[in-house]
Every structure is written in C-alpha cells, then in structure tokens.
Amino acid sequence: MKVEKISRSPIAELKRHVDVIQEAFKQALIPDRVTVEYPRERRIYPDNLRGFIVLDRSKCISCFRCAQICPANAIQMSLYDNFYPGVDYTKCIFCHFCVDSCPTGALASSNLHDMAFRSLEEMKVKATQMTRLPTIVREDKQSVEYFVTKKDWKLQRKKELEDISVLRIIPRIKPRRAFCEEPESCLGCRQCMEVCPHDAIVMERCEITLGGEVIGKGCILKVTEKCVGCGLCVRQCPMQILALKEVE
C-alpha cells in the first residue's frame, strides 16, 4: 500500500505556528483555562461537602447507630472507656449516613477532602484519631472557584486561603427511651439486657394470669433512666415487642 505525500503550503504552516505562539503568550498573561493547578491552587467546595469525619467523644452515647446504618460496613466500634466509632477509609464511600443519623451530633463532617495515607493500614482511622483533624500540610497559595454560564466555563482565582474547619450540625431530636409494648409476650431471654451498653434494662419477677393480665411488681422488663434511646435492645429483641418512645 502506497501512501501519498501530503503537500502543505509554507505560508499555512507558518500561520499555524504563529497561532500556537500567540495562544501560549495569551495563557501566560491572561489565562482562561479551567484546569486547577493542584496543589498550588485549592478549589473552594460547597459547605455540604462530605469530607473527613470528626468525632466528639464527649457527645457519643455509644448507641452503635452509625455502625448499624453504614452501607459499606466501614465503621467499627472500639472499646476504650466506652464504645466509640472508627472509620475504615478503605471501605468508606463518604455517604455520611453516620453523620446524618447520629442523634447527638457526636459525628461531624469537615471540608478536608484530599487525604494521603502511606499504607492501607493507616486508612483504618481509630476513634482516638477521629477526635481531631489530621496534620495538615498546605502547598496552596490561592483558591479558585468555578463559574458556569450558558456561554462559557471559567475559573475565578482569589489570593486567599480557604479555611479548613469542622462543620458540626447538632440535630434537634427529642430524647427517647425504650419501652415494652407487649409485656405478656416477653420470653425473658435477657438479650436486651446483654446488648444494652448502659445497663439501663433490668428484669423483675411478675405473674401473668390466664387472661393475659400482668400482676405482681410489674412488667418482666423494666427500663431505667439510664436509657439513652440508642435502640440496640429494640433491634435485638427476638419477639419485636420493644419500641422507642419520645419522652419529655
């Protein structure tokens, strides 16, 4: 197969070279490209960015709700003076269901999105490490922000550094406490007692008549004021007769 030689005009070739040089000077003096020069530039992200997760241990009630709701099984509870969550970032998909479901606001998001780990083992962040933001090494000199219109797409560069902080939103949730809806159906298996991390459930002896009436000291299951409404006993009950109820 023979390929014919393509003849080009010297004038056209010269014009193409001049156009390339002109574009290079233009980008050097008045750049209009939309490429962020990372890490010298840092993009400004919206406030609802799902970034590194931070834990306030003083607000954690060890309800295990974050571990239960995590779709990627990325949260593991560890025992220190109490049970606290840690995040395995090899599994985390940054859905932040854990942050949204936390009843006390113990878990919070930050606008730190670019993290570097030296090994896969370091990506398994423990509860003690989640109480603070990791060590931050900054190389950015300015911030950039996207502006999109119907005609073009531009970057606006600002000679300022974005503040890396924690965005903590404490939900307004009324306190809840577990209670037994059908005491006559209780098996007395004590699984609720065993799973309760606060020892808030005790068992009392009672009698049940043939008509299903509970007499004696009261219900077999008694929930004390130590209950924080975590719902672990509700999920553990084999008879599904426990429920959470809002209290004043």
Total residue count of the chain as it appears in this document: 248
pLDDT at 70: 92
103, part of any domain? yes
Cβ neighbours of residue 134 closer than 8 Å, sequence gap 6 or more: 52, 112, 115
Confidence of residue 187 (pLDDT cuts 50, 70, 90): confident
Cα–Cα dist 163/7, whole Å = 58
Question: Which residues are paired to 53 by β-bridges?
Answer: 109
Kindly report whether the global pTM for this prediction surpasses the value 0.75: no
Cα–Cα dist 14/52, whole Å = 53
Looking up residue 57, the CATH number of its domain turns out to be: 3.30.70.3270
Residue given tokens 């109480």 in the structure block: 131
Helix residue ranges, H only, 34-109: 65-69, 97-101
Number of domains the chain is built from: 2
Across 108-118, average pLDDT: 84
Cα–Cα dist 135/139, whole Å = 13
Residue that finishes a domain, picked among 135, 154, 184:
135
Contact yes or no for 86/75 (Cβ under 8 A): yes
Confidence of residue 87 (pLDDT cuts 50, 70, 90): very high
Confidence of residue 148 (pLDDT cuts 50, 70, 90): confident
Q: Which domain holds residue 100?
A: 45-135
pLDDT at 213: 64
* Residue 73 pLDDT exceeds 90: yes
Token pair listed for 81: 């003076």
Residue that finishes a domain, picked among 135, 167, 188:
135
Residue that finishes a domain, picked among 135, 168, 198:
135
